[in-house]
Amino acid sequence: MSLQDSVEEILGGVPATFGIAACRLSGSEAVLINECDVFPSASVIKVPMLVEIMFERDERRLSLDEVFTLRESDKVAGSGVLRDLHEGLELTLRDLAVLMIIVSDNTATNMIIDRIGMDAVNERMRGLGLGTVTLARKMYDWEQQKLGKENVISAYEMMLLLRWLAEGRISSKSTSEEILDIMARQQYRDRIPLLLPEDTRVANKTGSIAGVTHDVGVVYTPAGSYVLCALVRDVDDKPQAERAIAEVSRRMYDHFTGTTHA
């Protein structure tokens, strides 16, 4: 059975819509399922935001040492910790960026959007040739969502972005590595990393909103690295969808490393 067929077999028993784009960095083998379909991004959009921050740092348009003061008006619900911390707390842009990724902090994310703007992120993605990835609203801005403004991605374009990071092609090799190092500190480990050997390095970013659950990442194995972008919408059973992502990840790990997993 091919890897593509094996992945399709895993997903076939899950009542949801999947977008899968995965590739091995060495060689041409790939798995593609609804890879160009447009999905609500949930928190996966925070990866393109981090890319934009690092590009602007390299272009000397901002400093990661810039200091921001937390205000009550900045706080929003959902994932993260800043919503529970005191007004007046000072954080650097680096702090905000790290919180945005490793605990998916929505307050930090919105503070970053106020600093860099949505247009900058979208223009950067277009400049990279990514025509789908779009930041259209802040986190937890349901009023804008009702007006039809939604953050969106496709599995294929996220796979390209992560591949370029893994190949050191985003701004510079050192900047690409810096971005992946932050992603590797991710604290949500219930999807791509879940079933992998404990010492496996995974640089990933999850995303979840009602009916949607995603994970995208670079997985480092003894046999080389692979990128897996797994997007799921129309989700009725979130744990089942998350488990399917984990099983796809493990199936790919076993395939690329030639190992057997019971």
Rounded CA-CA distance 225/57 in Å is 27
pLDDT for 261 equals 54
Domain covering 3-257 assigned CATH 2.60.40.10 in the classification: no
Q: Identify whether the C-beta of residue 112 lies closer than 8 Å to the C-beta of residue 76.
A: no
Alpha-helical regions (H) of the chain: 3-12, 46-58, 93-102, 106-116, 118-127, 142-146, 155-166, 173-183, 238-257
Q: What is the DSSP string of 187-211?
A: S--SSTTTTS-TT-EEEEEEEEETT
Q: What pTM does this model have?
A: 0.96
For residue 220, is it left (φ>0), alpha (ψ between -120 and 50) or beta? beta
pLDDT digits (tens, 9 = 90+) for 178-217: 999 999 999 999 999 999 999 999 999 999 999 999 999 9
- For the chain, give every domain's residue range: 3-257
Q: What element of type H or E holds 228? A: strand 224-233
Rounded CA-CA distance 158/133 in Å is 8
pLDDT for 260 equals 65
The Cβ-side half-sphere exposure at 116, using a 13 Å CA radius, reads 32
pLDDT for 198 equals 94
Q: Identify whether the C-beta of residue 151 lies closer than 8 Å to the C-beta of residue 135.
A: yes
Q: Identify whether the C-beta of residue 199 lies closer than 8 Å to the C-beta of residue 180.
A: no
CA distance readout (Å), 33 to 22, 37, 242: 9, 9, 17
pLDDT digits (tens, 9 = 90+) for 67-124: 999 999 999 999 999 999 999 999 999 999 999 999 999 999 999 999 999 999 999 9
Helix (H, G, I), strand (E, B) or coil at 256: helix
pLDDT for 28 equals 84
Percentage of the chain lying above the pLDDT 90 cut: 94
Rounded CA-CA distance 130/195 in Å is 31
Q: Is the pLDDT of residue 1 over 90?
A: no
Q: Which of 204, 239, 233 lies closest to 38, judged by CA? A: 233
